[in-house]
Structure 1
Amino acid sequence: MPGTDDKLLGEIAARTYRDDPRFARALRAGRPCPPREYRRTRAWLLLALALVALGTGITLAHGLLIVTGMVLAGMAGELCDPQRGARRQRVSPPRF
């Protein structure tokens, strides 16, 4: 059943393109980039900003900067979570 296999591969390709178009285009060109789950450039930049804010807040003894650094560090940690997308799809509890 070669037709069934081609259809299945076409569906997989379409789903991959819909989920991560940049990855699908790079894969088609023969130069695959890491999938979206493994691209964490923004998380590292946010973490660096958080550490600067936290360090400055500690140096100046300024509570608002310390709290800002801690909040930004928490946001960066959330961005590094590989299961972030799975938790967005909340499933409601079953009704009895």
Structure 2
Amino acid sequence: MPVPEDRRLDEIESRLHREDPQFARAFADGRPRRPREYRYHRAWLLLAAALGALAAGMFLAHGLLIAAGLVFAGVAGELFDPHRRERGTRCPPSGS
């Protein structure tokens, strides 16, 4: 391989080690695992808690519990987006 391509591969490797060291280590060991963007343990846990709160709120006819369950279900849904960190903020730019 020419030298510029080697340098590019070295940059990619160092960035991978910096961004997700567990994935890089598992990949080097020959036992690859999902990248960090596709690990949803917290999202599933939050979604289960949200649906539990929603079901309890519906069973008890308690509006605040229903609202909290819906809000947390929305937050959990947002956590399932693997590219949520790549998007910018939703605040409009301040113009003078």
Which TM class, normalised by the smaller chain length?
A: 0.7 to 0.9
Match of 2:25 in 1: 25
Distance 1:86 1:48, change over 3 A: same
Post-superposition Cα deviations, 1:37-62, rounded to whole Å, max 9, x if no partner, equal 11111111111100000000010011
Does 1:68 pair with 2:65?
no
Match of 1:83 in 2: 83
Identical aligned pairs, as a percentage? 59
- Paired residue total: 93
Does 1:34 pair with 2:34?
yes
Distance 1:32 1:86, change over 3 A: same
TM superposition score normalised by structure 2: 0.84
CA distance in 2, matches of 1:88, 1:81: 14
CA distance in 2, matches of 1:71, 1:59: 18
Deviates more, 1:59-68 or 1:79-88: 79-88
CA distance in 2, matches of 1:22, 1:77: 25
How much has 1:88 moved relative to structure 2?
4.1
CA-atom RMSD in angstroms: 2.0
Higher helix share: 1
TM superposition score normalised by structure 1: 0.84
What is the identity, as a one-letter code, of the residue corresponding to 1:49?
Answer: A
Structure 2 alignment gaps of length 5 or more: none
What is the identity, as a one-letter code, of the residue corresponding to 1:8?
Answer: R
